[in-house]
């Protein structure tokens, strides 16, 4: 075996070969790497997606010809279980399925509705805040009673809201729209043979809801909605006090005529008489 000395040509060739087998520094690798067939690296933020994310650029895909624009629809909001329960309980109270002063038992309600007690408690708490249920210490929850003070206070609040609605309708020149109220008056005429019909109470309520709605005042409408359940309870209790629909139809019809004529003083006076009549019927019947 031949030794390779420092000056031997074979040894020098071996050293050169070893040098070229060592990896090149990365900066040199970048310089010598062929660019043919390869894409040069892009600077940060230069791509369309990166510009869109950073807000510096606009995604041109939204401007393509024939592309569909958003419809402006809002997501559908589904009612929660407590909301659905509260709605059913309000309806039951307003229609006297639960009589004034009746105790609502949590266990039996949960079983009847097929729900757990958690959402039922939340729903009943809402009705307590609305005043439809009354909490009695160590006894439970009871349906509100239409005693004299409650009736008077409910009619005081209702009269104030509806009087303000009439004033607003006439002041803003919207009295011609009150002609739509005659739809309910005409519908009442169909129940001459049944003056204590539940349908008459429903039409009565719709009349007054429309009246407040014509004011175009969101605040008045919101305040009126908070009184609706108590109003329904009152109207339901009044049903048996009517032996004829003449007074009921006349009171609503005359009110519409006064609004159409733009006579604020007469319209508010007729509303006050209408409210007084209803309150007397409730208190006398009670």
- Please count the other Cβ atoms lying within 10 Å of the Cβ belonging to residue 114: 6
- Which residues have CB under 8 Å from 63's CB, separation 6+? none
**How many Cα atoms sit within 13 Å of 56 on the Cβ side?**
9
pLDDT of residue 38: 53
pLDDT of residue 283: 87
Average pLDDT of span 170-187? 96
CA–CA dist 8, 18 (Å, integer)? 16
Average pLDDT of span 94-102? 88
CA–CA dist 128, 20 (Å, integer)? 89
Confidence of residue 203 (pLDDT cuts 50, 70, 90): very high
Is 4 or 92 the better-scoring residue by pLDDT? 92
Radius of gyration of the chain (CA): 40
CA–CA dist 143, 96 (Å, integer)? 10
pLDDT of residue 216: 96
**How many Cα atoms sit within 13 Å of 195 on the Cβ side?**
11
On the question of pLDDT at 84 being above 60, the answer is yes
SS (H, E, C) the chain: CCCCCCCCHHHHHHHHHHHHHCCCCHHHHHHHCCCCCCCCCCCCCCCHHHHHHHCCCCCHHHHCCCCCCCCCCCCCCCCCHHHHHHHHHHHHHHCCCCCCCCEECHHHHHHHHCCCHHHHHHHHHHHHHHCCEEEECCCEEEECCCCHHHHHHHHHHHHHHHHHHHHHHHHCCCHHHHHHHHHHHHHHHHHCCCCCCHHHHHHHHHHHHHHHHCCCCHHHHHHHHHHHHHHHHHHHHHHHHCCCCHHHHHHHHHHHHHHHCCCHHHHHHHHHHHHHHHHHHHHHHC
Least confident interval from 62-66, 106-110, 207-211: 62-66
Burial class (CB in 10 A: 0-12, 13-18, 19+), 234: buried
Mean pLDDT rounded to a whole number for the chain = 81
pLDDT digits (tens, 9 = 90+) for 135-175: 999 899 999 988 889 889 999 999 999 999 999 999 999 99
On the question of pLDDT at 25 being above 90, the answer is no
What is the distance, to the nearest Å, from the Cα of residue 70 to the centroid of all Cα atoms in its chain?
23
What the block records as the tokens of 96 is 């006297």
Confidence of residue 231 (pLDDT cuts 50, 70, 90): confident
CA–CA dist 180, 195 (Å, integer)? 23
pLDDT of residue 89: 93
Chain position carrying tokens 């809201």:
161
**How many Cα atoms sit within 13 Å of 239 on the Cβ side?**
18
Average pLDDT of span 18-40? 47
Asked whether 206 and 182 are in contact (CB, 8 A), the reply is no
What the block records as the tokens of 227 is 């009184």
pTM of the complete model beyond 0.85: no
Average pLDDT of span 206-214? 96
What is the distance, to the nearest Å, from the Cα of residue 87 to the centroid of all Cα atoms in its chain?
13
Confidence of residue 73 (pLDDT cuts 50, 70, 90): confident
On the question of pLDDT at 24 being above 50, the answer is no
């Amino acid at each position: 075996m031949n030794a390779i000395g420092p000056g031997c040509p074979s040894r020098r060739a071996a050293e050169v070969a070893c040098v070229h087998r060592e990896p090149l520094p990365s900066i040199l690798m970048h310089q010598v790497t062929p660019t043919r067939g390869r894409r040069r690296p892009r600077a940060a933020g230069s791509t369309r997606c990166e510009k869109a994310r950073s807000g510096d650029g606009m995604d041109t895909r939204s401007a393509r010809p024939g592309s569909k624009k958003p419809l402006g629809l809002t997501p559908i909001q589904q009612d929660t279980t407590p909301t659905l329960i509260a709605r059913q309980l309000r309806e039951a109270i307003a229609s006297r399925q639960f009589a004034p002063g009746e105790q609502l038992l949590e266990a039996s309600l949960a079983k009847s509705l097929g729900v757990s007690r958690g959402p039922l408690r939340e729903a009943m708490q809402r009705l307590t805040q609305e005043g439809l249920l009354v909490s009695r210490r160590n006894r439970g929850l009871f349906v509100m009673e239409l005693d004299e003070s409650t009736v008077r206070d409910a009619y005081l609040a209702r009269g104030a809201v509806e009087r303000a609605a009439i004033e607003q309708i006439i002041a803003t020149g919207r009295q011609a729209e009150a002609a739509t109220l005659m739809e309910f008056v005409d519908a009442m005429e169909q129940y001459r043979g049944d003056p204590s019909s539940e349908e008459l109470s429903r039409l009565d309520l719709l009349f007054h809801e429309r009246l407040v709605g014509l004011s175009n005042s969101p605040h008045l409408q919101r305040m009126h909605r908070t009184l609706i359940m108590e109003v329904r309870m009152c109207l339901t209790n009044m049903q048996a006090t009517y032996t004829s629909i003449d007074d009921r139809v006349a009171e609503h019809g005359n009110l519409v005529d006064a609004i159409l004529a733009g006579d604020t003083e007469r319209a508010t006076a007729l509303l006050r008489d209408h409210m007084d009549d209803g309150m007397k019927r409730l208190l006398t019947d009670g």
